[in-house]
Amino acid sequence: MFRIFICLFTILALVSPSHAALLKDDETRITISGKGMVKAEPDVAYVTIGVERTEKTATEAQGIAAEKMNNIQASLKKMGIKDDKIETARVTLQPSYQYDKGKRILIGYTAHNQIKVTIDKLDNVGKIIDGSISAGATNVYNISFSIKDEDLPKQAALKKAVENARDKAEVIAAAAGLVIKRIKSIQEAGARIIPPASNLRAMAAEGAAAETPISPGDVEVHGSLTVVYECDKK
């Protein structure tokens, strides 16, 4: 009899109003992804400049490539590029072959020597490219533009992402007959810089070479996040 009484008491306790209120969870939640984008004017450029040379011997190929790269770096310094703005990007030496009736024949060795140059004055990008070519560069590629201080535009993009999530949540809530009560959680997906596509065109006039024109355009900063809203019925 005593055991039966304990069981009945336990059942009553579980279904008592106060405990039932703790277990009740009829909240409606809306999970929304928000995206924001702002534009910023770039203030720094990165250019990869390279020398490619093929010679009969590895020593010749490497030596000529190194000599030309030394000339390029000397030219860059004359144009105001400091040592800490120049870094080695790639140095390789490999055999070169040609095929004759399925037979591989060694014809020499190809040396690649590349540097990455940071340019703080964007008006000088075309001048620096032309000067590097005149000094012996055979390849110019990977031209990209960015911004030195990324924090402010990233914050602005994330702020717009929050506003975007709120706008979408309010539309969905209104259509579903709900009212947004509060934010349950926010999870940042991140903010990233998307550089503009470089517009590099070589221009030449008869008897003289014109400066290579560079049109960087604006940098786009994209932010994204996920917001969970708690809602009530109207």
The tens place of each residue's pLDDT in the chain, 234 residues long, gives 445 444 433 433 444 343 333 334 567 999 999 999 999 999 999 999 999 999 999 999 999 999 999 999 999 999 999 999 999 999 999 999 999 888 999 999 999 999 999 999 999 999 999 999 999 999 998 889 999 999 999 999 999 999 999 999 999 999 999 999 999 999 999 999 988 865 444 333 333 355 777 778 899 999 999 999 999 988
Q: What is the pLDDT of residue 141?
A: 83
Residue 132 lies in a domain: yes
Q: How many domains does the chain have?
A: 2
Q: What is the pLDDT of residue 212?
A: 73
Do 60 and 132 belong together in one domain? yes
* Judgement on whether residues 110 and 169 belong to the same structural domain of the protein: no
Residues 142 and 165 in one domain: no
Q: What is the pLDDT of residue 26?
A: 61
Tokens of 216: 């960087």
Q: What is the rounded CA–CA span in Å between residue 207 and residue 212?
A: 16
Q: What letters, b where the CB count within 10 A reaches 16 and e where it falls short, cover 200-226?
A: beeeeeeeeeeebebebeebbbbbbbe
Q: What is the pLDDT of residue 196?
A: 80
169 burial type by CB count under 10 A (0-12 exposed, 13-18 middle, 19+ buried):
buried
Angle between helices 58-78 and 125-134 (to 10 degrees): 140
pLDDT at 25: 53
User: Does residue 117 sit within a domain?
Assistant: yes
Residues 133-149 pLDDT 10s = 999 999 998 889 999 99
**Domain-located, residue 228:** yes
**pLDDT score, position 106:** 94
Residue 134 domain flag:
yes
Would you say residue 198 lies in a domain? yes
Predicted local distance difference test score (pLDDT) of residue 101: 85
CATH assignment at residue 195: 3.30.110.170
Angstrom distance (rounded) from CA 170 to CA 2: 57
Select from 131, 146, 161 the last residue of a domain: 146
Domain boundary residue, one of 127, 146, 165: 146
pLDDT of residue 209: 53
Whether residue 135 is found in the same domain as residue 157: no
> What is the structure's pLDDT at 18?
34
Q: Does 182 lie in the same domain as 136?
A: no
Q: Is residue 225 part of a domain?
A: yes
Same structural domain, 155 and 170: yes
Adjacent-strand bridge partners of 214: 200
pLDDT of residue 127: 93
Verify that 109 and 168 share a domain, yes or no: no
Q: What's the pLDDT score for residue 16?
A: 39
Domain of 101? 44-146
Looking at the structure, do residues 89 and 172 belong to the same domain, yes or no? Answer: no
Domain end call among 146, 168, 190: 146
Q: Do 184 and 224 sit in the same domain of this protein?
A: yes
> Is the separation of the CB atoms in 30 and 23 below 8 Å?
no
* pLDDT at 10 (0 to 100): 41
Instruction: Report yes or no on 86 lying in a domain.
Output: yes
Query: Is residue 4 assigned to a domain?
Result: no
* Same domain for 49 and 103: yes
**Non-local CB neighbours of 170 within 8 Å, separated by 6+ positions:** 180
pLDDT at 197: 65
Residue 80 belongs to a domain with what CATH number?
3.30.70.2970
Residues 129 and 76 placed together within one structural domain of the fold: yes
Same domain for 186 and 207: yes
